[in-house]
């Protein structure tokens, strides 16, 4: 099949409901780069939307998965324990943001893990309703579609969804919050916000669920984003970067809560797949051995500095509304109404670089691998700045608005 026909075949036979950045056909990836079937090499600042946090085909992760395939591919969790599942827990327990988080359940996707957290919260509190944040993204299953508030497209024409949106404290099982909004625009909370949510939960017998599917596993410069504010979640949800591309997700909570569930109430055919868990162990080891968090903070400062410089520059600053984020979870929000973010994204694509937009606002998000080299970060910053400059060169500065005015 010729290269051009591959893309045409995909357009014809792959579900139209899948949105995508391009019709490129990827064949391989290594480190911070992907290569198409045509041989086009592109710098990847998407990391599969925060999944390949250690870059494409990390040698240690690849080796661990290859070795596990030769030992045990599928050790079904409802039949017996399997070694990689238990080893992964052993590695993760010391990394949790609070010592009370010591009991795990692994599933396959972020949406499933969020629903596992909701199941646990409802069962433990004997209450039904769930509070979520405006701008939140929790998934595309029927339960998580009802919880997602970043865009209407995720739940459009799929009603009825899970009920329980307006609620009194006495009917509320949990508050679910992304410590840093993901799809909603890479927005960290104000100082003291999460601590106040914790107080409300404690006062009203409500469980606090931290959805760290995108902001967890080192993305913000700490192993889990909630560590920046020192707040204890009752349940923590994880996925994406946990296994560097292998399907795996999970929840962790206190043993007394998890032990309330009867045997048989949780499970799943592929839950905690042995190969995915083996990859997860390799990821956890890499964080220890390769000083990943140190690199996140160093490279994040470089990227943030470039974005802030563009914001301050009189030639480009008129396009930029905000620069924000933590670690290597950074965003550039553009002034509304001109489509600047998509234009910058397209320019980067022309220069062989992948970046993504996000939220209902005109926002670019930057999600490079956490172990990106200083040289690759410099190249990425060069391309992004060139793209910003080129888009600005074709624009006339609009009337300047303050941040508060633009949000009204």
Tens-place pLDDT, residues 342-386: 999 999 999 999 999 999 999 999 999 999 999 999 999 999 999
Question: In 3D, which of 192, 202, 201 has the Cα closest to residue 229?
Answer: 192
Torsion of CA 220, 291, 241, 130, to 10 degrees: -40
User: Locate tokens 């992948």: which residue?
Assistant: 354
Token pair in block for residue 261: 């569930």
Report, as an integer, the average pLDDT of 232-261: 98
Residue 189: the pLDDT is: 97
Confidence of residue 156 (pLDDT cuts 50, 70, 90): confident
pLDDT in tens, 65-118: 999 999 999 999 999 999 999 999 999 999 999 999 999 999 999 999 999 999
C-alpha to C-alpha distance for 303 and 74, rounded to whole angstroms:
41
Per-residue tokens: 210: 């931290």
Residue 203 is predicted with a pLDDT of: 97
Q: How confident is the model at residue 406 (pLDDT cuts 50, 70, 90)?
A: very low
CA distances from 3 to 15, 23, 37, 350, 360 (A): 20, 11, 7, 19, 34
User: Do 324 and 187 meet the contact criterion of CB atoms below 8 Å apart?
Assistant: yes
**By the 8 A CB rule, do 107 and 249 touch?**
yes
Q: Which domains does the chain have, with CATH numbers?
A: 3-57+291-407 (3.90.1150.10), 72-289 (3.40.640.10)
Q: Are 341 and 332 in contact (CB under 8 A)?
A: yes
- Give the torsion sign (CA, 161, 163, 165, 166): positive
**What tens digit of pLDDT does each residue of 109-136 get?**
999 999 999 999 999 999 999 999 999 9
Please report the pLDDT score of residue 238 as a whole number.
Answer: 98
Query: Residue 407: pLDDT above 50?
Result: no
pLDDT in tens, 165-196: 689 999 999 999 999 999 999 999 999 999 99
Q: Which segments of 159-273 does DSSP mark as H helices, in order?
A: 193-203, 255-258
CB 113 within 8 A of CB 162: no
pLDDT above 70 for 297: yes
16-60 tens-digit pLDDT = 999 999 999 999 999 999 999 999 999 999 999 999 999 999 999
Q: Helix axis angle, 59-69 relative to 274-289, nearest 10°?
A: 150
CB 76 within 8 A of CB 290: no
> Strand, coil or helix: what is 267?
coil
Strand partners, 211: 237
Question: Which residue matches tokens 């998580």?
Answer: 144
Q: What is the DSSP string of 299-326?
A: HHHHHHHHHHHHHH-TTTGGGEEEEEEE
DSSP code for 118: H
- Indicate the DSSP class of residue 392: H
User: Residue 5: its pLDDT value, please?
Assistant: 87
Residues in the chain: 408
For the segment 1-6, the average pLDDT, to the nearest whole number, is 70
Across 219-237, average pLDDT: 98
What is the 3-state composition of the chain as percent helix, strand, coil, each rounded to the nearest 5?
A: 40, 15, 45
Contacts of 149 (CB under 8 A, 6+ apart): 132, 133, 134, 135, 136, 137, 184
The pLDDT score that the predictor gives to residue 402 is 46
3-state secondary structure 25-37: CEEEEEECEEEEC
State the pTM of this model: 0.93
Token couple for 170: 């006495």
How does pLDDT run across 305-338, given as a tens digit for each residue? 999 999 999 999 999 999 999 999 999 999 999 9
Alpha helical stretches, state H, 173-265:
193-203, 255-258
Average pLDDT, the chain: 94
The structure tokens 């993901």 sit at 182
């Amino acid at each position: 099949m010729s290269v051009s026909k591959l893309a045409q075949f995909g357009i014809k036979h792959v579900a139209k409901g899948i949105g995508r950045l391009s019709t490129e056909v990827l064949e391989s990836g290594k480190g911070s780069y992907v290569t198409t079937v045509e041989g086009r090499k592109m710098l990847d600042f998407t990391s599969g939307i925060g999944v390949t946090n250690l870059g494409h085909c990390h040698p240690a992760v690849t080796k661990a998965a290859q070795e596990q395939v030769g030992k045990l591919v599928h050790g079904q969790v409802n039949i017996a324990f399997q070694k990689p599942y238990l080893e992964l827990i052993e590695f993760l327990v010391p990394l949790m943001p609070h010592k009370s988080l010591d009991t795990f359940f692994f599933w396959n996707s972020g949406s499933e893990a969020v629903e596992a957290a909701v199941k646990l919260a409802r069962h433990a509190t004997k209450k039904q309703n769930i509070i979520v944040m405006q701008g939140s993204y929790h998934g595309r299953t029927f339960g998580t579609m009802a919880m997602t508030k970043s865009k209407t497209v995720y739940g459009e024409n799929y009603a009825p969804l899970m009920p329980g949106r307006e609620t009194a404290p006495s009917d509320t099982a949990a508050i679910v919050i992304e410590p840093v909004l993901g799809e909603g625009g890479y927005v960290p909370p104000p100082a003291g916000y999460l601590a106040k949510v914790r107080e409300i939960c404690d006062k009203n017998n409500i469980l606090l669920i931290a959805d760290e599917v995108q902001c967890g596993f080192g993305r913000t410069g700490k192993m889990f984003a909630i560590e920046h504010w020192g707040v204890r979640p009752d349940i923590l949800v994880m996925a994406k970067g946990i296994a560097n591309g292998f399907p795996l997700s999970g929840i962790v909570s206190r043993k007394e809560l998890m032990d309330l569930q009867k045997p048989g109430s949780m499970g799943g055919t592929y839950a905690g797949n042995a190969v995915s868990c083996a990859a997860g162990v390799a990821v956890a080891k890499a964080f220890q051995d390769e000083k990943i968090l140190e690199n996140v903070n160093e490279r994040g400062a470089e990227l943030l500095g470039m974005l802030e410089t563009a914001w301050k520059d009189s030639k480009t600053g008129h396009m930029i509304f905000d620069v924000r984020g933590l670690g290597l979870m950074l965003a550039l929000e553009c002034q509304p109404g001109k489509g600047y973010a998509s234009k910058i994204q397209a320019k980067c694509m022309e220069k062989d670089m992948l970046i993504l937009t996000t939220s209902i606002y005109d926002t670019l998000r930057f999600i490079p691998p956490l172990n990106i080299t200083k040289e690759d970060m410099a190249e990425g910053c060069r391309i992004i700045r060139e793209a910003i400059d080129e888009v600005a060169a074709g624009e006339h500065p609009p009337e300047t608005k303050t941040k508060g005015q633009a949000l009204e």
